[in-house]
Amino acid sequence: MRTLRLTPLRRHLAAVLTILLSTSFVAAMVLGATLLRESAAADADTRLLGTDLVATSTSDGEDGTPRIEGAQEIWPVLDATFVPVSDGEGSGARSTQVYTPPPSEVAELPLLHGRSAQDADEIVIEQGTARLFDVETGDTITVASPRGRGSEDVALEVVGIAAPLDSALVSTGPSRIVVTEENATSVLGVELTEVATAWHATVPGDGDPEAIADRASTDELDVLAAEDAREGLERSAAGGFRAFGPVVAAFIAIALLTSVLVVANTLSVTVAQRTRDLALLRTLGATRRQVAAVVRRESLVVALLGSVLGTAVGHLVVQGVLLLAPRLGWTPRVAAAPVGILSVALPLVAGLVVVMCAGILPLRRATRVAPLEALRTAAPGPNGPRRWRVLAVLLAALSGGGLMAAAVTVSARGTAGPAIALGVAGGALTVLGALLAMRIVVVPVVRLIGATVGRLGGVPARVAVANVRRYPGRSASTAAALLIGTTLMSMLAVGAQTADTSLSRALAERAPVDAVIRASELPGQAVAEVSALQGVERAEAVAAGEIDVGASRMLTVYGPEQSQLEGTVARPDLAPSVADGEVVIGNDRAHGLGLHDGETIDVPRAAGGSEQLTVRIEGNVKLTLVSAATFESIFEDVSPHAIFVDFADPGSPARAGTDVFTIVGDLNGLLGTALPDARMDSEGATREVAQQIIALMLGITSGLLAVAVVVSIVGVANTLTLGVLERTGENALLRALGTTRHQMRTMLAWEGFLLSVVGALSGVVLGTVCGLLGAMVVLAAQFPVVITIPWPLLGAVLALTVLAGILASVLPGRQAARTAPARAVAEKL
C-alpha cells in the first residue's frame, strides 16, 4: 500500500497549476507588503538621521528656536515645502521639494560630487534633480522664491550633487534641493528658523530621550523621542496603503476559495474515475484507512509541488517587476523586495490548507467505496436538488439580502462603519447562497437553452447538453468557479462606476470651480500668466467682496458674469441659476450663518442704503455667488479680486499629460512670485485625485481578481479534461459511430460554452446587484448615490468569460478527438 499510486501525477496537472497560481499570488502580496513596510522604515530612518528628539510648534526663543532642556544640537526642519526651480536659463520651472539636512557634526551630507554650500549663492541638489534639469557641478539653476520678493529670480551655482536623499526602497518622491542656513534667504526669502515646521535635536550620550521629551513638552511645544516619531512616520507612510489591506486580503481569500473549488473538483472527478480501482483494493483486503492514506499521499504531493513552484514563481515575478520598474519609468528607484520567513512560509501553508480543505469531500467519497463497486458500473449522481440544499440557499439568500438592506438603511442615516460591516456579512452570505444554488440552477438553465443550442450546433451540441446535465455536481463546481470571478468583476465595474459618478457629482456640486485664487490686487497680466500654465484650460478674472448678512462674520461673495461661470464651472446647471436679486449659497454655510432658503435679507451697499437679496440654497456649494449686476449694485469697487481657474480635462491636448499635482504646484509657484498675498483653494485637485484613487483601486483590484479568473479558467479546462478521461468509452463509441474529430472538438467547445454561460450570466446579475448595494452602503452616509450601470463593460465581462470557457475547451477537445474507436471495444472487454 505504501508504494501504490492511485493516479498518474499528470492527471493532477490542473490542480498543481491552480495551487501554483494561488500561492504565487500570496507570495507576491506578502513580498509587496514587506517591501512597503521596509521602505517606510528606511525612509523614517533617513528623515531622523542622527536625531534623538523631534519638536513641533514654536517656543519663546528669540530666533524661533525652541528651548529644550537637556538637548545638545538643535536644528530646523522643513517638511512638504516646495519652490519653483528651473534650469539656468529660467525655463522649464518645476516644483521642487526643500530638504534641510542635519548639521555636519551630526551627519555628513551624502555627496556624490562637489562640496557643501558655503555662500548664499551656492546650492547642493539631489542626483535626481540634476538629471531632471540636466545640470552638473558648476552649472546654475534658477529659484523663484515663494516668500514675496516680487518677480525676482535667484540664480544659484550648483556646487554639489547629493545621493538620493530618501532611503525608501520604493521612491516616488519629488526632486529635491538642499537648503541650509547659508542659502535659506536666497531660496526662501527668510531665515530657515522663521519658517521651520519642526525641530530636530540630539542629546548627550548619557541622556534619556524619553525623559527629556516628557520634561520639555508643554501646551505650546510637543516633543517626542525619535523612536516615537519614527513610529508615527511609518504609520503615516503606510496610511495610504493601509486602505488596500482589506482589499488585498479579500482577493487573496477569493483566489484561495476558487482554488479550493477547482482542486476539489479535480480530486472528486479523479476519485469518481477510479471507483473500480478503489473497490478492487477493498476487495483485496485494503481498509478504509489504507485507501484514505493513498488519497492523502497524492493530495500532499500535489500540495507540496504546487506550493513550492508557486512560491518560487511569485518571488521571481515580483523581483523581475521591481527590476524593470525604473527602466519602464514607473518609479525613479526601487530596491529588491526583502525575502523573509513569511514570504516563504505563508504561500506554502496556504497551498497545504487549500488542498486539505479541497480534499475533505473527495476523501469521504473514496473511503465509502464498497468492494462490490468493482463488479458494477457506477451511475452518475442524482440530478434533482436535495432538500437541505434548497433550504440552505433560501436561508443564505434571505439572510444576506436582509443584512444588505439593513446596511443600506444604516448608511443612509449617516453611520458608515456598522453599515459596511453589515454589508460585508450580507454580501458574503449572498455569494455563499449563489454558490450553493449552482447545483440547483445548472441543469434547469442548461435544459432551457439546450434546445436552442441543439438546433444551432447539431449533434455535438446536443451531446454536450446531455453531458452537462448528466454530471450536475461537476458542472456546478465549474460554473461556481466562474461565478466567483464574474461576480466580483461585475461588482467592481458597477460599484466603481457608481462611486465615480456619485463622487464626481457631489464634489462638483460642492466645489464647481477647479481652483479659486483671491488677492487684494490682481496685476493686469495675472490672468494671462495663469492661463498660460500647462494644464489650465481657462482662467477668468472675477469680482469678489464681502457682505454683511447680520451674522457674526462677513460673507465672501463672487460676482462673475454668466459667460465666466459657464466657461469655468464643472456644473452646467449652476450658471443659469444665479439670478439678479438672489444670493446662491451652500447649505452648510447658510446653516452656519443662520440663513434659510427663500429668506430675504438686507445687505448694506457701499454707497449707502441696502440691497434686498433672496437667499437660495443650492446643495452644499462652497462658493457664494451673486450675479454681476447684483454685485455692481452692492459694491462701488467692481474690479476683479479673484481668478476662477478651470483645469483641462485629463487626456485632452491642453492637458498634455500634466498631472494635477504639477498644475497646483505651478500655480503655487506663480502665486509666490506674482501674487505674494494671494490665497488659493484647489478643490478641483481633490475631485480629480478622488477619481484617480477610484481608478487606481479599480485597476489594482482588477489585477488581483485576474488571478481568481485565471484559476477559474483552469478549473473549466480541468473539468472538461477529466470529463474526457471519464467518458473515454463513450467518446470511442461516438468515434466508432462515425463522429469526426472536428465534431468531437466542437462537442467540448459547446460544453465549455454552456458552463461559462451559466456561470457568467449568474455572476453578472449577482455582481450588478452587489455592486449597487455596496456602493450605496459605502457612499450613502456621505452624499447622494447616483446609480450608474456600465452596460458596455458588463457586456465585455460576459463576452470575455464565455470566450474564456470556449478557449478552455481547446486542449480537452483535442484529447477527445484523439480517442481511437477501438477503445470502445477495449472498455467492454
- pLDDT tens track for 476-503: 877 876 787 788 778 878 887 887 788 7
Q: How many CB atoms lie within 10 A of CB 311?
A: 24
CA 248 – CA 700 distance, rounded (Å): 9
Q: Which residues contact 736 (CB under 8 A, 6 or more apart)?
A: 821, 824
For cell 479523479, what's the residue?
A: 270
pLDDT of residue 558: 92
pLDDT of residue 170: 54
Instruction: Write the single-letter amino acid at 787.
Output: I
Nearest to 334 by CA among 168, 196, 489: 168
pLDDT of residue 323: 77
3-state secondary structure of 340: coil
pLDDT of residue 644: 92
pLDDT of residue 189: 77
- pLDDT, tens only, 348-385: 998 888 888 877 777 777 777 666 655 555 455 555 55
pLDDT of residue 106: 84
Q: How far is CA 503 from CA 510, 659, 661, 778, 783, in A?
A: 10, 20, 20, 11, 8
For cell 451674522, what's the residue?
A: 551
By DSSP bridging, strand 582-585 and strand 610-617 are parallel
Cα 240–Cα 664–Cα 187 angle in degrees, nearest 5: 100
Computed from CA positions of residues 471, 472, 474, 478, in that sequence, does the dihedral angle turn out positive or negative?
A: positive
Architecture of domain 515-681 in this structure: Beta Barrel (2.40)
Nearest to 702 by CA among 485, 514, 525, 413: 485
pLDDT of residue 672: 62
pLDDT of residue 159: 92
pLDDT of residue 123: 92
Contacts 24+ apart (CB under 8 A), 173-176: 173/97, 173/332, 174/82, 174/95, 174/96, 174/97, 175/85, 175/94, 175/96, 175/97, 175/125, 175/126, 175/128, 175/129, 175/132, 176/96, 176/97, 176/98, 176/99, 176/125, 176/126, 176/128, 176/129
Are residues 707 and 255 in contact, defined by beta-carbon separation less than 8 angstroms? yes
CA 351 – CA 20 distance, rounded (Å): 8
pLDDT of residue 639: 84
DSSP-derived secondary structure letter, 349: H
User: Which residues lie across from 544 on neighbouring strands?
Assistant: 558
3-state secondary structure of 543: strand
CA 307 – CA 300 distance, rounded (Å): 10
For cell 461585475, what's the residue?
A: 490
Domain ranges for the chain: 79-195, 441-511+683-829, 515-681
pLDDT of residue 173: 53
3-state secondary structure of 604: strand
Residue 279 in grid coordinates? 473497490
Are residues 14 and 714 in contact, defined by beta-carbon separation less than 8 angstroms? yes
Predicted TM-score (pTM) of this structure: 0.63
CA 187 – CA 708 distance, rounded (Å): 53
3-state secondary structure of 351: helix
pLDDT of residue 167: 59
- Residue positions counted in the chain: 829
pLDDT of residue 717: 73
Are residues 96 and 82 in contact, defined by beta-carbon separation less than 8 angstroms? yes
CA 618 – CA 116 distance, rounded (Å): 57
For cell 506674482, what's the residue?
A: 674
Instruction: Write the single-letter amino acid at 647.
Output: F
pLDDT of residue 422: 83
Are residues 362 and 292 in contact, defined by beta-carbon separation less than 8 angstroms? no
For cell 485565471, what's the residue?
A: 710
Parts of the chain with a pLDDT under 50:
1, 6, 59-62, 146-150, 172, 378, 828-829
pLDDT of residue 777: 83
pLDDT of residue 147: 47
- Please list the helix, strand and coil fractions of the chain in percent, rounded to the nearest 5, in that order: 60, 15, 30
Are residues 558 and 625 in contact, defined by beta-carbon separation less than 8 angstroms? yes
Phi and psi at 467, nearest 5°, equal -65, -40
3-state secondary structure 618-653: CCCCCCCECCHHHHHHHCCCCCEEEEEEEECCCCCC
Are residues 782 and 416 in contact, defined by beta-carbon separation less than 8 angstroms? yes
CA 237 – CA 328 distance, rounded (Å): 24
CA 771 – CA 498 distance, rounded (Å): 8
Terminal-to-terminal C-alpha distance of the chain: 27
